[in-house]
Amino acid sequence: MADRDSAGASGRLALPAELVLQDPSPSTGRVIAAALAAGIAIGWGLAALALHEHELALRSAGAMLNPLGTLFADASTPLTAWPGWAAAAILGLSAIRLRRDGVEPPAGHGSAGAMSAEVLRSGLRREYTGVRWALLAMGLLTLADLSRLACSGIAALLRQSGAGDGLAWMGAEAAGLVAATAALTIWVVSFRGQLEQVGALPTSGAPGQPDTDPPGGDPPERDPP
């Protein structure tokens, strides 16, 4: 019974762990990676708040700020809030197109008819690894921005001077990044499903077929049905 529960939990964790290039089985390394990501995000949130206060003090003293200093002094604005939403829209439309039209041949390899099945599958697996790295980077960026929003919000509640500047736009900015991360996740999962159909990847979480994709590497190839 315990073995069955453990296998079921491993199956449920397999795909999420695969998407962020982690081993699906519980491990100290995975816990350390999660703690490190959280620590970096919290550190960035506190640092961004401190930089905002520092640049505000310089501006109040009459100093001329460089573009980066102006960015921190202004906190979030409409100019920083729209890119996440634009990325979410583009990725969402791309995911819909991928689900409707299927995968295209790997970039730089010519047409599908000019490639062997092995070359096609290998190229698609490399693209899958690349988009998982992109998803990991997007997730870390989103986590850092959410931490910045939380630190600034708490400081504003404590009536810390300048902490509430641009807080509403900061929320819109963080929400846009969350939406973009969700859209990219849908795209990657859809891409994986297409790769399963062409035999480039094993079926994720299938009974009796644990995911054996090494972290950061190419999953094993299987023959098409």
pTM here? 0.76
Mean pLDDT of 156-174: 87
Contacts of residue 218, Cβ cutoff 8 Å, sequence gap at least 6: 122, 125, 126, 129
Percentage of residues in the chain having pLDDT higher than 90:
31
* Length of the chain as a residue count: 225
pLDDT tens figures, 179-214: 999 999 999 998 888 888 877 777 765 443 434 344
Domain ranges of the chain: 2-197
Confidence of residue 82 (pLDDT cuts 50, 70, 90): very high
Distance of CA 113 to the CA centre of its chain: 33
Mean pLDDT of 15-20: 70
